[in-house]
Chain A
Amino acid sequence: MRRWAHRTHLAGLFLAAAALACQPTDRATPPPPPPPPTSPGGVAVTDDAGRRVTLSAPARRIVSLSPAVTELLFALGAGDWVVGRTTWCDYPPAARAVPSVGDGLNPNLEAVAARRPDLVILYRSALNETAAQQLARLGIAAAVVRQDRLEDLARAAGLVATLTGRGAAGASLARGIDSLLHAPAPPAPAAARRRVAFVVWDNPPMVIGGGSYLDELATLAGTENMFHDIPAASATVSLETIAARDPDVIAVLADSGAPAVPAWAARREWQVVRAVRERRFAVLGGSLFARPSPRAPQAVAALRRALAATR
């Protein structure tokens, strides 16, 4: 009995994490109801969950429950109107001055409501869609935004810009992202063209797959993610497969100030991977690589530098 209670509890945690990690497939949305008349100066959008969000005026007290949205809001010049953020919102530095309302995974609605927001923006997940409905019942407008990959970013920027009355800034940001995505990348220097495997956990070995932002960055940087063929954003793979695919460089994500070589590189089973044996690691630090953001061009450049810097 206890074991089951324990397991199912862990399973709950896991599902929450998985819901965050996976990119939910678009399900058929019911035909939207006719848009209610907006008052003069009001704004109305359809969010990424297919819900109609209407505001009588552009939002001026915003709670952001996603680090990517927080960064986007500041980039759009709406940072002054952010009155609540998650514990994970660490960029730009000014965002840290905003009060935190929790970790944003399973929103504490009371803490959110206490900030008296006129708009709450949530990351798209099953849990958050429920939370958005609950907020709507409390009379608080809530929008759900998907921001898993670079192509989501332009649309998310348009949506958030409309809701905050920063249409012009949103349009220019979206153009910038589009040109990054579609402009032919300048040829990468030979050193940056090394084939890379992004290893995010060592036991069991987890790598970044083709459905991720990092994979897009790798392509833009002119290198090859060796696990591009896995459609998921990340996946557990066999160490044997990493050894057989033989990447030139192992890229690891780390907090700033992490050592240049991860601790697990000392474990014996990893020595079968050539890049580990030769200690060819690229440490990608900080929030730059953690989420799709207007800083994508910097992220591409930083990835190139990190790859070029490995021996």
Chain B
Amino acid sequence: MRWLGLGVAAAAAFVLAVVVGPAHVPLANLMTSDIVRSLRLPRAILAFLVGGALALSGASLQALVRNPLADPFLLGLSGGAGLGAVLAIALRIGGPWALPLAAFAGALVAMGLVYRLGLVGGSALDPRVLILAGVAVGAFASAVTTAIVSLSEATQLRNAFLWLWGGLSGASWDTVLVACVYFPLPVLVLLAAARPLDVLALGEEPARHLGADVEPLKRRVYLAASLLTAAAVAVSGVIGFVGLVVPHAMRALWGHQHRPLLPAAFLGGGTLLALSDTVARTFVAPRELPVGIVTALVGVPVFALLLRRWTAS
């Protein structure tokens, strides 16, 4: 029943994203319209994939660091991506893909640094060390970014933040292809980690006693979740809120078992982002809202309702 509801919601969000838009396309021309085929369809698919990736990554990281506040960008990735994007503009690196690639590279560097710091002194990705390392790396990257923005004369730098703050304007069959090639591996790694994550939720010591390979598990989950998030940043910037709230919402409906939780988070995240993007495109047409604002505006009331149910039961 829950699965059916989620499936129907996902399908409805997807159909809505394709049918509704700021440009008027008659229903009869839906399949022949260039706007639908080249813009709306890839954008709806990308919204679904990115939303799903962020929610899955958030759910996994919340389990990994055992902290309900964790989200895909907690561990310094947004700071690294921002620095990469700003550097690409400041150094006048040209080309149609310069910004996404630079942001991806920046996120990967931040991920590498946080990972390395998470191993300092044999701490083996201790959640506390990992979070502090993420905070430190993110703050450092933001500081360098701000320094570049204040000292550089490139007027385009301001726009780098527009890009970085996320949105699916860059969606095309190219970005969908990138997501389809890149996403499956980390997604499968995370889905396969569902059972061990249940064991890890008991605490590292108990998990070890139950025979779980705690260190390799943590490494695998951290790397897969971060790589997934970095790729999401490359195709759509930093879209907040989906990765934080959708996992909690799905936990309220499915409980704490990761076997149903992780796929439900993927579907739920995709649904929320596809829906939010439709609102972002159409609500103030011909203007467009940043999708991150809409994910918060749509998500918070739903979240509040779920929270009430959750605490009541």
Contact = CB atoms under 8 A, between A and B. Distances in A.
- Whether chain B is bound by chain A comes out as yes
Interface of A: 1-3, 5-6, 9-10, 13-14, 17, 87-88, 103, 200-201, 203-206, 227, 229-230, 235-241, 243-245, 263-269, 271-272
Contacts of A243: 23, 34-35, 39
Nearest to A272: B38
- Give the one of B96, B150, B289 with max A CB within 10 A: B96
B161 A10 contact: yes
Given A3-B74, A10-B161, A269-B172, A203 B99 contact: yes
Interface in B149-207: 149-150, 153, 156, 158-159, 161-163, 165, 167, 169-175
B281 A240 contact: yes
Interface stretch (B59-67, B134-142, B218-226): B134-142
B39 A2 contact: no
Contacts of A1: 135
Contacts of A88: 153
30 contacts: A2-B139, A3-B73, A5-B139, A6-B78, A10-B161, A10-B165, A201-B156, A201-B159, A201-B163, A203-B169, A204-B290, A227-B286, A229-B286, A230-B286, A230-B287, A237-B22, A239-B39, A240-B23, A240-B39, A240-B40, A241-B23, A241-B286, A243-B35, A263-B96, A268-B38, A268-B173, A269-B38, A269-B174, A272-B35, A272-B39
B288 A204 contact: yes
Contacts of B139: 2, 5-6
A238 B153 contact: no
B171 A237 contact: no
Contacts of A13: 146, 149, 158, 161
B95 interface: yes
Contact of A241 (B135, B165, B285): B285
Contacts of A238: 21-23, 169, 281, 285-286, 288
B287 A236 contact: yes
Contact of B171 (A3, A230, A266, A269): A269
Interface of B: 21-24, 34-35, 38-40, 42, 71, 73-74, 78-79, 94-96, 98-99, 134-135, 138-139, 142, 146, 149-150, 153, 156, 158-159, 161-163, 165, 167, 169-175, 281, 285-290
Contacts, number: 123
B23 A205 contact: no
B157 to A, nearest CB: 9
A244 B162 contact: no
A249 to B, nearest CB: 19
A55 B26 CA distance: 65
Contacts of A87: 153
5 nearest interchain CB pairs? Answer: A244-B23, A269-B172, A268-B172, A204-B169, A241-B286
A227 B169 CA distance: 18
Contacts of B170: 203, 267, 269
B141 to A, nearest CB: 9
B142 A237 contact: no
A204 B39 contact: no
Nearest to A268: B172
B100 to A, nearest CB: 9
A156 to B, nearest CB: 22
Contacts of B138: 2-3, 6
Contacts of A268: 38, 172-174
A240 B287 contact: no
Given A1-B135, A263-B95, A267-B172, A237 B287 contact: yes
Contacts of B173: 268
A271 B38 contact: yes
Contacts of A9: 142, 146
A308 B86 CA distance: 35
B34 A6 contact: no
A239 B169 contact: yes
Nearest to A229: B286
Contact of A237 (B146, B153, B163, B288): B288
B162 to A, nearest CB: 6
A6 B146 CA distance: 10
A3 to B, nearest CB: 6
B161 A14 contact: yes
Given A239-B39, A268-B174, A205 B135 contact: no
A200 B23 CA distance: 21
A269 B173 CA distance: 8
Nearest to A205: B169
